[in-house]
Structure 1
Amino acid sequence: MRNFTRYAVGGLAVIFAGACFLLAQPEQSEAPPKKPDTSSVSQQTKPHKFYRINYISGLNETRTRLNNSEHVITIHHNSNETSHYMKREVTVKFKRPPSPTELKQMIQAINGWEKARFGSMYIFKSRTMSADELIAYFNKRPNVQFAEPNYLLLPNATPNDMLYPRYQWNMPAINMEQAWDISKGRENVIIAVIDTGVDLTHPEFQGKLVKGHNVLNDSDRPQDDNGHGTHVAGIIAAKTNNREGIAGIAWNNKIMPIKGIGSDGSGSSFDIARGIIWAADHGASVINMSVGNYHPSNVLHDAIKYAFSKNVVMVAASGNDHTSQPSFPAAYPEVISVAAIDWQGNQANFSNYGSYIDVAAPGVDIPSTYVQGDYASLSGTSMACPHVAGLAGLIRSLNPELNNSEVMKIIRAATWDAGQPGWDHYYGYGIVNVPHALQLAGTHTQNTTPSATKPTQKNTFWEQLQKLFP
């Protein structure tokens, strides 16, 4: 049996650290998978190995590094929340791609160079001009749709699988066993995971993957060299009922792995936008984005609006800083924003909250797949998010006629109320209830509205869950 590793609260809040690092070091995306550092961890139980690694401290170290970097500008939203963008660097979207002559003139005018391009989106770097000066220069050109800083984002049936009975508290918490009696998903409903990639050789993904993409080196090999993406993908659709490892939410759905984040947990809004567009153009019905930042990005929102226009359901993590500061892409109206709960049904102590929260899902000590064929337990809204992406895949499998707006309405409507009656800042419309959502999908009408009442069985259910996982 492969190793099963438990990580402390916080999960892996994936860092979109600037395209310049990735483009200067493209070999990072092909680095061999890294094993967890066990020098500072303690074994908890046997025969499976459990490690507790605090990724929140790692996230704070990354923030400190960005705050002190001579290549990065820091935006202070308030005393606690910050965002970052690359110095002397901008992302530009043209109304039409510039001609070679126009491109040469612009590069000479900014005393810089073109770092990357994707369609009509470009990243430019100047040797002498600040980001504000670059934005002012490009926004004066009639062919420019927008220019903005290159932002850096901080991510966020009873099966016989061996780890399910003892560790996967998250599945009964959203009533998955009853849901699997209604639908186990369909192979032709594809769920894209835009993240660090997926462990392509992991036994839980054999026969479960469709063709993906690595936007960092423009290849068709999105191999995970970090672990975060593999963990997220396993929650959604690990091979189930195979007497090994864990159970995924969507038994029959397949995963489209999109690698937009490098081995060091760094990427950019430009790369994630490219991943969203690639997924939408290659048949994804659902996109999972366990990533986020506190500053909106036009290039990212543009890609999201494009995917939404192609009838894709998008789900994003709300963030792990226990703040009400809106996080993007979760706060965009085209995206379902997911907060995290613990095994008692309470808001996770790290989970973000606020006016942009749609629903809540399990996000503490969530077992799933990990790199090099292993298993791990991580915490974070990054882990809550794929529960809802998997639910969206099941809904679209059961009723393919539903459009993305109707799927989003059903997910919001099919919840257990939590916190204050009705919608609230901590749980949104409530904790997702998968079988209820599938029942609504099967009998859907245009009048579906979010629930605002507490079901009488809620307390009984959580009492039963506490007996199952004491």
Structure 2
Amino acid sequence: MMNSNQPLSKKTPSTLKKFAGTSRQSALKKSAVRDRFKNIYVMDFFDSKDLAGALERYQNDPDVDYAAVNHVFKIDAVKPNDMHVDSLYWIMLVRALDAWNLQKGTRDILISIIDSGIDYLHPDLSNQIWQNPGEIGTDDSGHDRRTNGVDDDGNGYIDDWRGWDFVDAPGFDDNGDFLDPDNDPLDDNGHGTAVAGIIGAEGHNHTGVIGLAYGCAIMPLRAGSASGFLQEDDVAQAIIYAVDNGARVINMSFGDKEFSPLLRDAIRYAYEHNVVMVASAGNDASPAYHYPSGFDETISVSATGPDDFFATFSNYGVSINVAAPGVNVYSTVRGGGYNYFSGTSASAPLVSALAALVISHHPEFSAEEIKSIIETSADDIGENGWDQYYGAGRINAFRALQVAYASIARINFPATDQGVSSDTLDILGTASGAFLKQYSVYYGAGSNPSEWILLRTVENRQVVNARLASLNLQSLADGPYSLRLMIANKDGSVVEDRSRFFIDRSAPAISGIKIQKMIFGNGHGYLIEFQTDDPCASTVWYRAHNSSEPFKPIPVSALSTKHIVFIPDEELHGH
């Protein structure tokens, strides 16, 4: 290329053409562009000697502003050099290479893995583990804060410099670390290590595999024993720890069909603090609700295979948000090795990693916005729109990182599995977004309706925690029903939320009443336990023995089928 106000040399190149930039502009810009670039020419030479000679000649010509080789640039693509990267089929499916050109994850975005622990000595994980800044370095006495036996950062945990082990389950006598909580979240099972590799194995280190969010840090929280069991109180404590210590994403590759009010409250705590929670849908090939993935605040993930077909073992149903590869995913194992890992436990980590990438790209986005972005950017590989197998579709990391705005679809009332008995049900929630075109509310009979019945469609109007629609219950029989809120955006994307509730006009049946003497702190009292056939709130009425005083209520507001109340001894005996 050259720029000259003088005629070209008689020694012309093999081909000569005007710089095309002057002919491809809009009418408004054309005159300004023409003046600036009108004397630029592109020359092609078949002989390198002719090129070298012409280049030297024009560079030495005082009437030529510049003459240079027409350089060829290379796309700055991220090409992992990790040894087993060719075994990671998910990289192509979720478009990870393209995504990494936009975002690799930032170190300050913490991904908490609540699981069986992590092999933090693994060569592909050792550099990825979060270190608590308040528990490293030296204290005022010159002692190593990691081992000085002091809660240096005042968070209630001593020497928690790389996470915490919450397991205190004497009933899990499995020859592992199961008796007491401590500051060592080392993996006794292997499950958590496999999850960690999918999320954040170190990239470009000529070793093993690479995690989707390899630029982020991993917070190991051990709540599972060597035999693979997790107690709900340990999980709840781990969630609270993750939130209080800065995690932006929590991965939960575990679950059960049993509803837990304690776990629900911990998850709501995380949601209120803007933490994205991702949970595996379960591996029972069942449409039954599974927790914690069944909670509204989580992203529930089903599993697909290398061919994008639905995994035969994966759970499905109304609670599914998205799908991700979960069949034969190559990852890290305890002891420094690698192996294949299958299950929704393998698909959830890819979604957690994607959430961390999006947060790294847009740290200002809320947890609900991140959830919406992951759904609206997914590849719709099942039935058109949301379906009970793939949810919104299989995740696409590259597309997710290109979404600049998110619409929010959320049903707040009735809460999942709440019972109602009124004649009319007002459905409350949020349908909002900068590009919202319309929202529609549907209902269907059962936990996985075969038919959705439209209740209402509203165009060009946003609703924030207000009435979305009303449902007349008078003609509907008792039983489970599902609600569906669908937002259609002006760009053609769709985001939605679903929830299950029960119509139950009969009073809850009480059973399994147990009353036992118990020491609570420095006092004594009675622990009262009972069950109900429906999730509900409860109230226990009591008065002192031989008293004529009115009964006093102890309300239990949590919706549950299991109810527990403690009454101090002096309350019952009047002293």
TM-score (norm 2): 0.50
- 5+ residue gaps, structure 1: 1-156, 456-470
Report 1:159-238 matches (<5 A): 159-165=80-86, 167-210=87-130, 211-216=162-167, 217-238=180-201
Contact 2:405 2:434 in 1 (8 A): no
Aligned to 1:376: 339
1:267 deviates by: 2.0
SS of 2:250's equivalent in the other structure is strand
Aligned to 1:339: 302
1:264 deviates by: 1.2
Report 1:71-110 matches (<5 A): none
Contact 1:421 1:454 in 2 (8 A): no
| Residues 328 and 450 of structure 1: CA distance in aligned 2, closer, same or farther (over 3 Å) | farther
What is the aligned counterpart of 1:240 among 192, 199, 203?
A: 203
Q: For 2:89 and 2:215, locate their aligned partners in 1 and report how far apart those are by CA, in whole Å.
A: 21
Report 1:4-19 matches (<5 A): none
| Residues 274 and 221 of structure 1: CA distance in aligned 2, closer, same or farther (over 3 Å) | same
Q: For 1:382 and 1:453, locate their aligned partners in 2 and report how far apart those are by CA, in whole Å.
A: 32
| 1:360-392 superposed Cα distances (whole Å, 9 cap, x missing partner) | 000000000010111110110000000000000
1:218 maps to amino acid: P
| Residues 271 and 172 of structure 1: CA distance in aligned 2, closer, same or farther (over 3 Å) | same
| 1:322-372 superposed Cα distances (whole Å, 9 cap, x missing partner) | 110010100100000000001111100101000000000000000000101
Q: For 1:381 and 1:176, locate their aligned partners in 2 and report how far apart those are by CA, in whole Å.
A: 19
| Residues 191 and 450 of structure 1: CA distance in aligned 2, closer, same or farther (over 3 Å) | farther
Q: For 2:313 and 2:225, locate their aligned partners in 1 and report how far apart those are by CA, in whole Å.
A: 25
| 1:260-314 superposed Cα distances (whole Å, 9 cap, x missing partner) | 0011112211111111111111110000000111121001101000111111000
Aligned to 2:362: 399
1:453 deviates by: 7.5
Question: Is the strand fraction higher in 1 or 2?
Answer: 2
Aligned to 1:320: 283
2:100 maps to amino acid: W
Q: For 2:129 and 2:212, locate their aligned partners in 1 and report how far apart those are by CA, in whole Å.
A: 15
Contact 1:191 1:256 in 2 (8 A): yes
- 5+ residue gaps, structure 2: 1-77, 131-161, 168-179, 408-432, 436-486, 495-575
Aligned to 1:85: none
Aligned to 2:373: 410
Rg larger for: 2
1:454 deviates by: 10
Q: For 1:251 and 1:195, locate their aligned partners in 2 and report how far apart those are by CA, in whole Å.
A: 19
Report 1:84-163 matches (<5 A): 157-163=78-84
1:357 and 2:288 correspond? no
Question: Is the helix fraction higher in 1 or 2?
Answer: 1
Aligned to 1:264: 227
Identity value in percent: 40
Contact 1:198 1:222 in 2 (8 A): yes
1:161 maps to amino acid: D
**Bigger RCO of structures 1 and 2 (CA < 8 A, at least 6 apart):** 1
Contact 2:379 2:393 in 1 (8 A): yes
Aligned to 2:401: 438
Q: For 1:391 and 1:172, locate their aligned partners in 2 and report how far apart those are by CA, in whole Å.
A: 14
CA RMSD of aligned residues (A): 1.8
Aligned to 1:114: none
Q: For 1:286 and 1:219, locate their aligned partners in 2 and report how far apart those are by CA, in whole Å.
A: 23
SS of 2:401's equivalent in the other structure is helix
1:444 deviates by: 5.2
Deviates further, 299-308 or 213-222 = 213-222
1:419 deviates by: 1.6
| Residues 357 and 444 of structure 1: CA distance in aligned 2, closer, same or farther (over 3 Å) | closer
1:158 maps to amino acid: K
1:301 and 2:221 correspond? no
Contact 2:112 2:251 in 1 (8 A): yes
Regions of 4+ moved over 2 Å: 442-455
SS of 1:256's equivalent in the other structure is strand
1:218 deviates by: 2.5
Contact 1:429 1:450 in 2 (8 A): no
| Residues 342 and 243 of structure 1: CA distance in aligned 2, closer, same or farther (over 3 Å) | same
| 1:214-251 superposed Cα distances (whole Å, 9 cap, x missing partner) | 01132221000110000001100000010110011012
1:450 deviates by: 7.4
Q: For 1:299 and 1:320, locate their aligned partners in 2 and report how far apart those are by CA, in whole Å.
A: 23
Q: For 1:425 and 1:259, locate their aligned partners in 2 and report how far apart those are by CA, in whole Å.
A: 31
Contact 1:417 1:454 in 2 (8 A): no
Q: For 1:171 and 1:277, locate their aligned partners in 2 and report how far apart those are by CA, in whole Å.
A: 32
Q: For 2:238 and 2:315, locate their aligned partners in 1 and report how far apart those are by CA, in whole Å.
A: 25
Q: For 1:421 and 1:252, locate their aligned partners in 2 and report how far apart those are by CA, in whole Å.
A: 34
1:205 maps to amino acid: L
2:184 maps to amino acid: R
Contact 2:372 2:406 in 1 (8 A): no
SS of 1:208's equivalent in the other structure is coil
TM-score (norm 1): 0.61
